[in-house]
């Protein structure tokens, strides 16, 4: 796998030969530090924009170390070192239940908090969708499944949220043929259409793990960048390497390490957070 990622994973105890325990249940509550506000400052109030266990921490706890990491991802997307514009970003994980939807939602909220940027979140996980719940959309809201099955037009499946500059295309109803729908030319045309119609938007796509969902492999070919979520206490380095082999490594712009120790003194004694490491995306293996 990429040397940069390999070192990061080894450093965080992912060099284990045991296979990860894979769960097909809905993603568990991500354990994010409930940090205190910075000294002398008051935490701004934010509306409850998510279901229990999936808060938008960049709003509810903006000075936390976790929020800092999400803003770091935002900066990498918006101001890449190589100067290349990346508007369509896929967020996925090595195995199920690693917190990818939580990460996608918070990265999108961080981008929406910028002065001049709008963002759209697409839930392409037609197996276990949760983005609609995170943003408190009504359960009957038409979504991606309806659009790809030609039951709704594009404008009908784009929904506003509590955040002025953030909109969502929810997954809609779970379907029996998610791979066929997401791998279809209609989905690819949708991405191209969004790039043209919403050229001033960033598009964040929440997508299931490519090792278990072949449609993510197809979808990854049509995006500008990929962010990978890895759960530190669950996923082996071998599995992460197998996952990266499924996608274009040159598009991987970073990795989010879920449930790992906070650097000493950073979060006043709290021990778990989302850590972000940038990847150079050179495609080399080591």
Which one has a higher pLDDT value, 36 or 155?
A: 155
The model's pTM is: 0.76
DSSP secondary structure string for all residues of 54-109: ---HHHHSTTSHHHHHHHHHHHHHHS-TT-----EEEEEESSSSS-HHHHHHHHHH
pLDDT at 202 exceeding the cut of 50: yes
Q: What is the pLDDT of residues 141-176, one digit of tens each?
A: 999 999 999 999 999 999 999 999 999 999 999 888
CATH of domain 3-14+44-278: 3.40.50.300
Q: What is the pLDDT of residues 52-91, one digit of tens each?
A: 344 688 888 888 888 888 998 999 999 988 888 899 999 9
pLDDT at 46 exceeding the cut of 60: no
Q: What pLDDT, on a 0 to 100 scale, did the predictor assign at position 254?
A: 87
In DSSP terms, 121 is beta-bridged to: 168, 204
């Amino acid at each position: 796998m990429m040397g940069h990622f390999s070192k990061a994973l080894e450093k965080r105890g992912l060099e284990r030969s045991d296979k990860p325990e894979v769960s097909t249940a809905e993603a568990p509550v991500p354990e994010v530090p409930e940090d205190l506000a910075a000294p002398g400052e008051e935490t701004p109030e934010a509306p409850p924009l998510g279901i229990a266990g999936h808060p938008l921490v960049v709003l509810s706890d903006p000075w936390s170390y976790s929020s800092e990491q999400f803003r770091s991802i935002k900066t990498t997307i918006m101001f890449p070192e190589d100067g290349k514009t990346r508007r369509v970003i896929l967020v996925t994980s090595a195995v199920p239940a690693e917190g990818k939807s939580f990460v996608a939602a918070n990265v999108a909220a961080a981008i929406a908090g910028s002065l001049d940027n709008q963002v759209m979140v697409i839930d392409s996980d037609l197996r276990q969708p949760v983005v609609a719940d995170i943003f408190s959309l009504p359960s009957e809201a038409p979504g991606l499944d309806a659009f790809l099955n030609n039951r709704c037009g594009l404008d009908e499946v784009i929904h506003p949220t509590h955040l002025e500059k953030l909109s969502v295309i929810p997954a809609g109803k779970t379907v029996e043929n998610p791979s066929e729908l997401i791998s279809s030319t209609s989905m690819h045309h949708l991405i191209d259409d969004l790039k043209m119609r919403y050229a001033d938007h960033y598009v964040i796509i929440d997508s299931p793990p490519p090792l278990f969902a072949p449609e993510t492999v197809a979808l990854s070919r049509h995006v500008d960048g990929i962010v990978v979520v890895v759960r530190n206490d669950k996923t082996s380095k071998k599995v992460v390497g197998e996952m990266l082999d499924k996608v274009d490594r040159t598009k991987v712009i970073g990795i989010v390490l879920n449930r790992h120790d906070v650097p000493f003194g950073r979060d006043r004694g709290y021990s778990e957070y989302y850590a972000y490491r940038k990847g150079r995306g050179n495609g080399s293996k080591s």
